[in-house]
């Protein structure tokens, strides 16, 4: 492990198929640690950096999942599956001694958190599910609806390139970027931490688990992801968050919150998929309030 600026420690953790990088922010607070799971699959932690602002009350831990950011993969024969990432998450918790913890997961990170919790791990006191879809079929239907609201020329670029399989074409990527500017992050310009995230994107994990494009077809291991009928088994207190303009739509996230036995829903009216960036102060304030309930109760988790 290496010490950086005051209160920041980083290092590497052994996990299946390699090592992953972690960073712990500790401002001296005694609250339960917050372990943060990034999206993607394959979008490194950088865009979650605003959550480090909570380190005055509790340790905040980030890690880059294998195959992206500061956790490069050495064995290109890795099988990218949900099960592999669940084992990786457990390895990080065990190595960093995160015996009692609250887990934050954004997008794919929240999907991973849900799957992990269905295995009833010990010591997880609560969850924050940030724009995390329980249903891929619902996600795709919602994305199709949002796509129909794009300018017609943008829709045409998407359609013609998808029909030809030209997903890597810069023109196609530019059309996807227009969708992202509306439904991923609405800040102008994008914060530098978001730019770093895209620079460190792990394409192998994304391609194998999702597919060639944001809009599908979902050809990877997430194609049959449907957990809405299983999440009632997740008994810990959960905060579900999203933005009004989110690709994880408020209606989808409301269905998730309703299915969970102990959940509350927070919708951020000026945000899309990254409300912790788009409405940083409001989001961190809401998150602080939720997390303090565990500090006050002294709970040891599930």
Q: Do the Cβ atoms of 235 and 262 come closer than 8 Å?
A: yes
Catalytic position from the list 46, 64, 142, 246 = 246
Give 81's contacts (C-beta < 8 A, 6+ positions apart).
Answer: 209, 221
Catalytic position from the list 45, 183, 252, 273 = 273
φ and ψ at residue 15, rounded to 5 degrees:
-140, 170
Interatomic CA distance for residues 20 and 164, integer angstroms:
37
Interatomic CA distance for residues 256 and 132, integer angstroms:
9
Catalytic position from the list 107, 130, 131, 271 = 107
Residue count (the chain): 302
Q: How many CB atoms lie within 10 A of CB 39?
A: 27
Burial 192-224 (b: 16+ CB within 10 A, else e): ebbeebeebbbebbbbbbbbbbbbbebebbbee
Residue 244 corresponds to which tokens in the numbers above? 């009004």
- Known active-site residue 246: yes
How, if at all, do strands 60-63 and 34-37 pair?
A: parallel
φ and ψ at residue 115, rounded to 5 degrees:
-60, -40
**Would you name the residues annotated as active-site residues?**
107, 246, 273
């Amino acid at each position: 492990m290496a010490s950086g600026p005051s209160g920041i420690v980083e290092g590497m953790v052994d996990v299946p198929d390699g090592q992953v990088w972690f960073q712990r922010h500790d401002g001296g607070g005694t609250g339960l640690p917050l372990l943060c799971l990034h999206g993607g699959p394959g979008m490194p932690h950088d865009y979650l950096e605003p959550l480090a602002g909570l380190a005055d009350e509790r340790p905040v831990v980030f890690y880059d999942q294998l195959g992206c950011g500061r956790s490069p993969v050495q064995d290109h024969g890795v099988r990218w599956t949900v099960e592999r990432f669940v084992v990786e998450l457990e390895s990080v918790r065990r190595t960093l001694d995160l015996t009692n913890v609250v887990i934050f997961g954004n997008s794919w990170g929240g999907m991973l958190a849900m799957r992990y919790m269905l295995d009833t791990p010990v010591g997880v006191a609560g969850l924050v599910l940030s724009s995390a879809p329980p249903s891929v079929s619902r996600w795709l239907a919602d994305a199709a609806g949002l796509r129909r609201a794009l300018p017609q020329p943008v829709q045409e670029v998407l359609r013609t390139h998808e029909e030809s399989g030209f997903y890597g074409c810069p023109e196609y990527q530019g059309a996807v970027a227009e969708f992202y500017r509306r439904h991923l992050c609405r800040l102008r310009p994008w914060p530098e931490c978001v730019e770093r995230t895209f620079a460190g994107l792990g394409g192998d994990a994304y391609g194998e688990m999702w597919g060639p494009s944001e809009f599908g077809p979902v050809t990877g291991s997430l194609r049959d992801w449907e957990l809405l009928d299983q999440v009632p088994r997740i008994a810990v207190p959960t905060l579900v968050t999203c933005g009004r303009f989110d690709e994880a739509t408020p209606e989808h996230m409301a269905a998730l919150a309703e299915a969970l036995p102990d959940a509350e829903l927070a919708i951020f009216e000026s945000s899309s998929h990254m409300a912790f960036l788009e409405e940083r102060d409001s989001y961190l304030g809401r998150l602080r309030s939720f997390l303090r309930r565990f500090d006050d109760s002294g709970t040891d988790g599930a």
